[in-house]
Structure 1
Amino acid sequence: MSESPQDSFAPSQLRPGDVLLMRGHGPVSDLIAWFGDSIYSHAALMVDTDHLVEAALPTSRLVPLQTRLTQGKDYAFIDVFRPTRPDGTPLSDAERQAIAAAGRGLIGVAYPLDALLQLALVATLRNRIPADARLRWWLRMLIDELLTDDPQQMVCSELVYTALRTAGLAPALIVSAQLDLPLPAIDLGSLIEEWREARGRRHPATLAAPSPTEMLDADGLAAAFQTLKQARHGTPPGLRALGMPGLPTVNPADVLPVDLETSPQLRRAGRLPLTSP
C-alpha cells in the first residue's frame, strides 16, 4: 500500500484508543506477516496522545509515540485504525478513555516467546485453507476452542483485542483471509457433526452453526472480503450488509493483525510519517 498525501495521517490527530498496525523490517516480521496473511506484523494501542502500549520482550511496555516515529530503520510503515461502535458511529471520549485505561492495565504482561511457534502454525492452518466459507468458519471456531487463553501472557494483537474487550468494545471479527493452497477433500457434514458433539460434551449450550443461507459461497466470500478491504475510509460496512457472519466467540490468543485489519469496526484512517535517526 503506497502512501499518498491524502493517506498521510498527522500524529497530532491520534487519540486514545486508536489502534496502530505496523510492518517491521526483517525476516521475522516478514514471516509473521506471511503466517497471518497480512501486510502487518505488529499491533499497538494508543493510550493517550503521546504514548502507545505494545506487547514486547520481556513484558508489554509503554512507548513514547515520538520514539516510535523515529524508528524508520525498524518499521516500514505504521497505519492508524480508528475503532467505532458496531453501527460505525464514532466512540465517545469516555469510551476512548476506557480503552486507554484497559491498555495501561496490561503494561507488564509477559510476552509468550515459547508460544510463537504454536501461534505461527495455527495462523498458517487458519489462514491457508480453501475458500469454502463454512469450512473456514468452523476451522476458526475449532482453533479458538483448542488454544489456551492465558491472560498472564500476550502477543501484540492479543493485547490490543483484550484492551478493547475489557472496555466493552470488542470489535466484531470475521473469517477473512483467502489463499488457494491445496487441502485433501473433507466431508464437511461429518466434520461439523463431530465438532458439535465434542463441543456439546464440554458446553451443553452448543454453538449453532451458520446455515447455508447465512454463509456466502466462495465467490461471494471473495467479493465481500474485497468490499471490506476497500472500505478503509468512511463508515465500515456492517457484517449483515456483507453477508458475512461474525465469530460469536473469540479467543484472544488466536487474534492476529489480520483480524484487526479486517474488522468492520476498525476503520483505517491513514499512515503515520516515519523517520530514521
Structure 2
Amino acid sequence: MTQTLDTSTPPPATEQDLLPGDILLMLSSGQLSTLIAWCGDSIYSHAAIVADQGDLIEAAASGVRRYPLAKRLVDTTEIVLIDAYRPLAHDGSALDEADRKRVLDKAESMIGIPYPVDALAFLGVVVAVRGKWPQNWLARIVVREALDHLIQDNPSHMICSEVVYRALAECDAQPVGRLAPRIVMTGPTHLPFPKIDAKALLEEVWGLLHPQRQQALAAIRTHLQTDPKAATPPLQGAPADAALRERANTVRDRLGLSVLPITASVDDAGALLEEASAETPARAIPHPNPKLVMPLDLASSPSHTQIGRLLQADTVQ
C-alpha cells in the first residue's frame, strides 16, 4: 500500500482554536530541517504540545521546556509552517477537560529533561527508522555525518515527537494507554526531493560537527565555497549505499530495530529506500517505542484530526 501524503493547504486556524493537549507539527526553517522532513516522508521536522497559560511544551536544545505559543506563531524567521492536530480517544470521542489535564500533567512532568539530540542527530534517527536516504551527493554526505554523529553520541536520547507521544500515551488515564495515539507504519509518501542549497546546508551542519569531522570535510567546504552549485563532489566522493546501510543498521540495533534488508534499493523520487517500498502495506504498531515515533506518525495517526494551519511563511515550498 502506497501512502500519498496530502500536501494540500489545510484551512486556516488561530490560537483561539486550540485547547491544551492539542498537537503542533512544524517545519523549521533551514536546509537541515528540510532534509529531516523529506527523509521522514513528511512536511514536518518538529513537534510540540499545546499547554495552558498561552504556552506550548516542546523538546529544545536546552531540554524539554515551556515556550510562549504567541511568540512561536509569529516567528517566521525560524518556522516555516505550523499545523495543529486534535487528539481523540480510542473510541473517536474528543478528550474531555479531565483528559486534557492528564495529558498536560504528563507533559509538564517532562519539563527539564535534557534534550541533547541536535538537528543533525535527529536526522540520523529519522534516516535509520525510515530506511531512506537521498541520491543528492552532499545530502548523502550529511546523512553519513548524521548517522556517525548519532553513533558517537547516544541514539536513545529523547526526540521532539517522543515528548508529544508520551504526554498522551503515558498520562494518568484509565485504563492505562487509553489516550495513546494509534501509530500506523506506512510506506513512502513519494515527496519529490526538495531544492537544497548545498553551500547553506553544509554551513548549517558545520557547527554541529565534531572538530575532526570538520577537518575531514574541509575540502568539500572549500569546493562548495568555490562552486556553491557543484553537481558533483570532490575526489573523496559521496558514501555508497552499503556504507550508509551499515551505519543505519548500527543505529537501528541500538534502538532495538531489525536490520535493513540487503536488497536492491527502491528508487523513489530522489531517494534510495532500503525498507519501505511502494508495496509496503500499512501496519498498525500496537505498542510503539516512543523514541521511534516520527512527526509523520503523529500526522497520519487515526487518533488525530487536523484542526488547521496556524502559520505558513512565504518561503514554504
Which residue of the partner structure matches residue 64 of structure 1?
A: 68
Which residue of the partner structure matches residue 253 of structure 1?
A: 291
- Is 1:16 the counterpart of 2:23? The answer is no
The separation in 1 between residues aligned to 2:87 and 2:163, in whole angstroms, is 15
Aligned-partner residue type, residue 260 of structure 1: L
Which residue of the partner structure matches residue 101 of structure 1?
A: 105
- Structure 2 unaligned residues grouped into runs of 5+: 1-6, 135-153, 172-176, 191-240, 243-256, 258-276
Aligned residue pairs: how many?
A: 199
- Is 1:272 the counterpart of 2:310? The answer is yes
| Within-5 A mapping of 1:157-236 | 157-167=161-171, 168=177, 169-178=179-188, 221=281
Q: 1:127 to 1:264 in 2, by over 3 A?
A: farther
| Within-5 A mapping of 1:10-49 | 10-48=14-52
The separation in 1 between residues aligned to 2:23 and 2:170, in whole angstroms, is 15
Which residue of the partner structure matches residue 81 of structure 2?
A: 77
Kindly provide the CA deviation profile for residues 92-142 of structure 1, in whole angstroms up to 9, marking residues without a partner as x.
Answer: 1111111111111111111132753541331341799xxxxxxxxxxxxxx
Aligned partner of 2:54 among 50, 57, 61: 50
The separation in 1 between residues aligned to 2:189 and 2:305, in whole angstroms, is 24
Kept in 2, the 8 Å contact 1:20–1:46? The answer is yes
- Structure 1 unaligned residues grouped into runs of 5+: 129-147, 185-198, 200-216, 222-243
SS at match of 1:81: strand
The separation in 2 between residues aligned to 1:273 and 1:35, in whole angstroms, is 22
| TM-score normalized by the length of structure 2 | 0.56
SS at match of 1:97: helix
Q: CA RMSD for the aligned pairs? A: 3.1
| TM-score normalized by the length of structure 1 | 0.64
Higher-strand-fraction structure: 2
Kept in 1, the 8 Å contact 2:27–2:80? The answer is yes
1:83, CA displacement in angstroms? 0.1
Kept in 2, the 8 Å contact 1:56–1:155? The answer is no
Kept in 2, the 8 Å contact 1:37–1:127? The answer is no
Aligned-partner residue type, residue 123 of structure 1: V
Q: 1:253 to 1:273 in 2, by over 3 A?
A: closer
Which residue of the partner structure matches residue 262 of structure 1?
A: 300
Aligned-partner residue type, residue 34 of structure 2: D
Larger mean CA deviation between 37-46 and 165-174 belongs to: 165-174
The separation in 2 between residues aligned to 1:10 and 1:253, in whole angstroms, is 30
The separation in 2 between residues aligned to 1:112 and 1:170, in whole angstroms, is 25
Kindly provide the CA deviation profile for residues 54-104 of structure 1, in whole angstroms up to 9, marking residues without a partner as x.
Answer: 101021110011110120121111000000012221111111111111111
Higher-helix-fraction structure: 1
Aligned-partner residue type, residue 90 of structure 2: P
The separation in 1 between residues aligned to 2:160 and 2:310, in whole angstroms, is 19
Which residue of the partner structure matches residue 228 of structure 2?
A: none
SS at match of 1:174: strand
The separation in 2 between residues aligned to 1:75 and 1:86, in whole angstroms, is 32
Identity %: 37
